[in-house]
Amino acid sequence: MMMKYNLHTHTMRCNHATGEDRAYVEAAIAAGMTALGFADHCPQFFPVDDYYSYFRMRPEQAQEYAESVRALQAEYKNDIRILLGFETEYYPQTFDAFMEFVRPLHLDYLIMGQHFVGNEYDENSYYAAESGKREDYLDRYVKQVEEGLSKGVFTYVAHPDIVWYCGSQAYYTQRMTDLCRFALARDIPLEFNMLGLLNGRCYPSPQFWDIAAKVGNKVVIGYDAHSPAALLRSDAYARCLALLNARGITPVPLKELTLRNEAL
Ligand SMILES: [Zn+2]
Ligand SMILES: [Zn+2]
């Protein structure tokens, strides 16, 4: 029996999740998890005054977030392993400022969730889960994820199939094969996203997971929990597992993930 864990947990601070931090911990224990990682949407540092994304915590909340998670980690140490992380996009323009900000927090890990392509705030950026047909739409996503992964700070890629490309299937297969191989070569696992499955989003994409199975990527199931109750969805976990097993994929145990990456 696979030891259940989840490294993709949000908190109220991101403005679109509910429940106290403690309630997530209690739910994870009730669900029989061996580890729970908090990876809330991290602050970003856009070089403009007139843009701020609504779906992430503000910089001044990060210290309190870290302290809250560390306090729970100590309090529950005999019941469950708690980890402190962030989910972040890789934005070329703001990445250095971002890293400077997170290093003093001594995180256990970072996961990449590339919700936007470009730098989010600027022209030519686009939301990855909005459909696009042009080859360029897919290319830019793949290129940006690869560039981010080469920084060596990410433990895994959340919903790598968030990009909703509606063009040629042959081209999708080609470019996503590239992406999967890139991740495999760096030993970076890919996340099968439970929230997307529950909400009927464009991800998890059956085509994508056929490709990942063929390439032989390491895979992690991520709850992407935005409420404590989400951690109790063992039915959804079983569905994720079945969809992966049907492709010959077994999710990797936590000990195979690289936490505390060198560059972090
Ligand atoms: Zn979210
Ligand atoms: Zn998330």
Burial (CB count within 10 angstroms: exposed 0-12, middle 13-18, buried 19+), residue 1: exposed
* pTM of this prediction exceeds 0.85: yes
- Nearest ligand, measured from the Cα of 9: 2
Q: How far is the CA of 86 from the centre of ligand 2 (A)?
A: 9
Taking the C-alpha atoms of 27, 253, 150 and 57 in order, what is their torsion angle to the nearest 10 degrees? 0
CA–centroid distance, residue 40 to ligand 1 (Å): 8
Q: Encoding tokens for residue 251?
A: 């999710």
SS3 for 140-199 is: HHHHHHHHHHCCCCCCEECCCCCCCECCCHHHHHHHHHHHHHHHHHCCCCEEEEHHHHHH
pLDDT digits (tens, 9 = 90+) for 228-247: 999 999 999 999 999 999 99
What is the Å distance from ligand 2's center to 111 Cα?
9
Question: What gap in Å lies between CA 204 and CA 195, rounded to an integer?
Answer: 9
Ligand nearest to the CA of 89: 2
Mean pLDDT, the chain, whole residue set = 96
Residue ranges with strand state E in the chain: 5-9, 35-41, 81-88, 109-112, 116-117, 126-127, 156-157, 190-193, 219-222
Compute, in angstroms, the gap from residue 139 CA to the centroid of ligand 2. Answer: 23
Residues 6+ apart with CB under 8 A from 79: 29
Count of C-beta atoms within a 10 Å radius of residue 192: 26
Task: Give the per-residue pLDDT at 54.
Answer: 87
pLDDT range class, residue 196, cuts 50, 70, 90 = very high
Torsion, Cα of 18, 20, 26, 30 (10° steps): -10
> CA 17, CA 250: separation in Å to the nearest integer?
29
- Please report, as a single letter, which amino acid is at residue 135: E
Check residues 2 and 147 and name the one with the higher pLDDT.
147
Give the position of tokens 């056929």.
Answer: 210
Which ligand minimizes its atom distance to the CA of 112?
2
Instruction: Say how far apart CA 71 and CA 249 lie, in whole Å.
Output: 36
Q: How many CB atoms lie within 10 A of CB 136?
A: 10
Give 262 or 97, the one with higher predicted confidence. 97
Mean pLDDT along residues 81-85: 98
Whether residue 258 is predicted with pLDDT greater than 90 in this model: the reply is: yes
Tell me the ligand closest to 111's alpha carbon.
Answer: 2
Q: Is the peptide bond before 228 cis (omega within 30 degrees of 0)?
A: no
The pLDDT, as a whole number, for residue 261 is: 78
Distance 170 CA to ligand 1 centre (A): 31
More confident residue, 191 or 133: 191
Q: How far is the CA of 41 from the centre of ligand 1 (A)?
A: 7
- pLDDT tens profile 152-179: 999 999 999 999 999 999 999 999 999 9
Closest among 11, 55, 60 to 36, alpha carbons compared: 11
Q: What is the mean pLDDT of residues 104-108?
A: 96
How far is residue 67 CA from its own chain's centroid? 21
Phi, psi of 173 (to 5 degrees): -60, -45
Ligand found nearest the CA of 158: 2
| Nearest ligand, measured from the Cα of 85 | 2
Structural domains of the chain sorted by starting position, each given as residue range(s) with its CATH number in brackets: 5-256 (3.20.20.140)
> How remote is the CA of residue 150 from the centroid of ligand 2, in Å?
21
- Which ligand neighbours the alpha carbon of 227 most closely? 1
Check pLDDT > 70 for residue 1: no
Which position has the token pair 């779906």?
55
